[in-house]
Amino acid sequence: MSLPGMDVVALEKFLRDSGVAVRGELRVELIGGGRSNLTFAVADDESSWVVRRPPVAGLTPSAHDMAREFTVTWALEGSAVPVAKTVAFDAQGTALGAPMTVVEYVDGTVIRDQDDLAALTDTQVAASAAELVRVLARLHEIDPDAVGLGTFGRPTGFVERQVNLWAAQWDRVKTRELADVAALHAALAESVPNASAASIVHGDFRIDNTILDAADPARVRAVVDWEMSTLGDPLTDVALMCVYRSPVFDLVLGSSAAWTSDRMPTADALAQAYATASGRDLGDWGFYLALANFKLGVIGEGITHRALQGSGAGAGAERAAEATPEFMAAGLRAMKGHRK
């Protein structure tokens, strides 16, 4: 069976050329795709790996950065944050026509949607969410210089650049005019915190971007999907994790996401748990919530924009922009609370 974005013969040659022992015929299965990077499970007669590459259509380079993903995963090996061990990196895309990463396969459970979540008890769900928050706090505690990531990003001015970046992205992908977008952008631009912390940020942290231990879902075996990671303000990570809890995020993902389930802790509970685990002050919290809503609103619009342009963006892509007004309105509410 042909797999879009995969050439098994070329992959085997790349692995051998990279010094990876391949024993027997390679077996390849697509295990993740659509709006994110394509993820393939690859196995021979003795070993298993995971190969990731950008989608074959609708490519947004900054959102599918394989070099970024490989760099941070390599740097975090052996740290307090569990990651898959890196194996090889095709920076030029010589094998598959696009850059790809190869990491060791981590056996465990991925909880993507609410059907997956149904396999866990309420106690397991609560324990898993608590551990996810602790893992995020541990990530933010890592000294970037100590793991070779001191030049991984530009933390100074990060938040202001995020405001401008997502406003510019809106201008590129908007499918209609929405007054709330301009209003929220103006409010954010006027309220950028004077100072902010700096850390390694994941950029897309929620339960489905982790691999949990199959026997103990309160144990995170690996954090995955690092293509949005950089050095920046840790509270942007926390706020995004919390705003992902919004039910309208299902429209963006095109599925009933595990993270939007009402069995998960509330956004407020997650924020408080993070503050406790990290010891950080969630100052200017309304601003960070507003920025996260702004970002997700633009992302939803972009998914529909690409679908209307004919790019394959996964199931329900035409409806993703229905979430945009909801996120923008929520952002304005967060800013109103911030200004009190």
Confidence at residue 340, expressed as pLDDT on a 0 to 100 scale = 47
Residue 297 lies in a domain: yes
The answer on 73 and 145 residing in a single domain is no
Given 104, 127, 146, which residue is the final one in a domain?
A: 104
- At residue 79, the 3 state secondary structure works out as coil
pLDDT band, residue 173 (cuts 50/70/90): very high
| pLDDT (average), residues 152-175 | 96
The answer on 149 and 94 residing in a single domain is no
Residue 333 lies in a domain: yes
Which ranges of the chain does DSSP label H, i.e. alpha helix?
8-17, 66-76, 114-117, 122-141, 158-173, 179-190, 234-243, 249-253, 267-278, 285-308, 324-339
Q: Give the CATH number for residue 113.
A: 3.90.1200.10
Confidence at residue 321, expressed as pLDDT on a 0 to 100 scale = 97
243-255 pLDDT tens trace: 999 999 999 999 9
Residue 77 lies in a domain: yes
Confidence at residue 312, expressed as pLDDT on a 0 to 100 scale = 59
The answer on 166 and 95 residing in a single domain is no
Confidence at residue 310, expressed as pLDDT on a 0 to 100 scale = 81
Residue 45 lies in a domain: yes
The answer on 201 and 119 residing in a single domain is yes
**Is pLDDT of 34 > 70?**
no
237-292 pLDDT tens trace: 999 999 999 999 999 999 999 999 999 999 999 999 999 999 999 999 999 999 99
Residue 17 lies in a domain: yes
Residue with structure tokens 């993070």?
A: 274
The answer on 210 and 145 residing in a single domain is yes
Q: pLDDT exceeding 70 applies to what percent of the chain?
A: 94
Least Cα distance to 178 among 324, 21, 314, 295 occurs for 324
Confidence at residue 309, expressed as pLDDT on a 0 to 100 scale = 86
55-109 pLDDT tens trace: 876 544 444 589 999 999 999 999 999 999 999 999 999 999 999 999 999 999 9
Cα-flanking dihedrals φ and ψ of residue 200, to 5°?
-70, 130
Give me the chain's average pLDDT, please. 93
Domain enclosing residue 319, as ranges: 109-338
The answer on 114 and 90 residing in a single domain is no
Q: How many CB atoms lie within 10 A of CB 206?
A: 24
Provide the β-strand partners of residue 230.
201
The answer on 198 and 127 residing in a single domain is yes
Confidence at residue 63, expressed as pLDDT on a 0 to 100 scale = 46
- At residue 202, the 3 state secondary structure works out as coil
The answer on 179 and 83 residing in a single domain is no
In angstroms, rounded to a whole number, what is the distance separating the alpha carbons of residues 192 and 231?
17
308-323 pLDDT tens trace: 988 655 678 999 999 9
77: exposed, middle or buried (Cβ count in 10 Å: 0-12, 13-18, 19+): middle
Q: Is the dihedral of CA 264, 269, 275, 276 positive or negative?
A: negative
**Is pLDDT of 25 > 70?**
yes
33-42, 45-54, 77-86, 324-333: least confidently modelled range = 33-42
The answer on 30 and 16 residing in a single domain is yes
**Residue 339: both structure tokens together:** 């200004």
Residue 240 lies in a domain: yes
The answer on 325 and 263 residing in a single domain is yes
Q: Give the CATH number for residue 58.
A: 3.30.200.20
Confidence at residue 35, expressed as pLDDT on a 0 to 100 scale = 61
109-145 pLDDT tens trace: 999 999 999 999 999 999 999 999 999 999 999 999 9
* Structural contact between residues 121 and 113, judged by C-beta atoms closer than 8 angstroms: no
Residue 1 lies in a domain: no
Given 104, 119, 143, which residue is the final one in a domain?
A: 104
The answer on 234 and 156 residing in a single domain is yes
Residue 2 lies in a domain: no
Count structural domains, the chain.
2
The answer on 239 and 97 residing in a single domain is no
**Is pLDDT of 337 > 90?**
no
Given 104, 119, 154, which residue is the final one in a domain?
A: 104
191-207 pLDDT tens trace: 999 988 999 999 999 99
Confidence at residue 4, expressed as pLDDT on a 0 to 100 scale = 87
Confidence at residue 313, expressed as pLDDT on a 0 to 100 scale = 59
